[in-house]
Amino acid sequence: MDRRQFLTLSPDRHQTRTTNTIARTATGITPYTGTWDTLQRIHLLKRTLFGVTPANINTFNSLSMQQAVDTLLTTQPDPTPPVNNYGIDDTGVTPGATWVKAPLGDEMLERKRIASYKAWWTGQMINQQSSIHEKMVLFWHNHFVTETSMVNDSRFIYQYNVTLRKHALGNFRDLTKAITLDPGMLVYLNGYLNSKGAADENYARELHELFTVGKGPDSHYTEDDVRATARVLTGFRVDRTNIVSLFDTTQHDLTNKQFSDFYSNKVISGKTGTEGATELDDLLKIIFLQPEVAKFICRKLYRFFVYYDIDAATEQNVITPLADIFRSSGYDIKTTLNALFTSEHFFDPLNMACLIKSPADFCVGVCREYGVPFASDYTNQYKGWAVVHDRAASMLQNFGDPPLVAGWDAYYQAPSFHELWINTDTLPKRNRFTDGLVSAGGFNGLKIDTLAFANQLPHPEDPVALIADSLDILYRVGVSDKVKDFLKNTILLSGQAADSNYYWTQAWQAWKASPGDATLKDNVESRLQALYKYIMDLSEYQLS
Kindly list the distances between the CA atom of residue 428 and the CA atoms of 50, 431, 477, 535, 539, in Å, as whole numbers in the listed order: 21, 5, 21, 15, 12
Distance in angstroms (rounded) separating the CA atoms of residues 470 and 475: 8
Tell whether the torsion through CA atoms of 534, 537, 540 and 542 is positive or negative: positive
Q: Where are the domains of the chain?
A: 107-289, 449-542
Give the single-character DSSP code of 296. Answer: H
Mean local confidence (pLDDT), 276-283: 98
Q: Give tens-digit pLDDT for 116-161.
A: 999 999 999 999 999 999 999 999 999 999 999 999 999 999 999 9
pLDDT-derived band at 2, boundaries 50, 70, 90:
very low
pLDDT digits 0-9 by tens, 233-265 = 999 999 999 999 999 999 999 999 999 999 999
Give bridge partners of residue 443 from the DSSP assignment.
446
pLDDT of residue 477: 87
- Helices and strands (H, E) in the chain, number of each type: 27, 4
Q: State the amino acid at position 329 in one-letter form.
A: S
Cα–Cα distance between 385 and 407 in angstroms, integer? 23
Average pLDDT taken over every residue of the chain = 95
pTM of the entire predicted model: 0.95
Sign of the alpha-carbon torsion through 488, 489, 493, 498: positive
pLDDT value of residue 497: 76
pLDDT for res 1: 41
> In the chain, what is the straight-line distance between the N-terminal and C-terminal CA atoms, in Å?
14
pLDDT in tens, 444-475: 999 999 999 999 999 999 999 999 999 999 99
What residue type is assigned to position 365 of the chain? G
Residues whose CB is less than 8 angstroms from the CB of residue 312 and which lie 6 or more positions away in sequence, other chains included? 20, 21, 23
Give the model's pLDDT for residue 5. 52
Q: Residue 288, Cα to own-chain centre: how many angstroms? A: 25
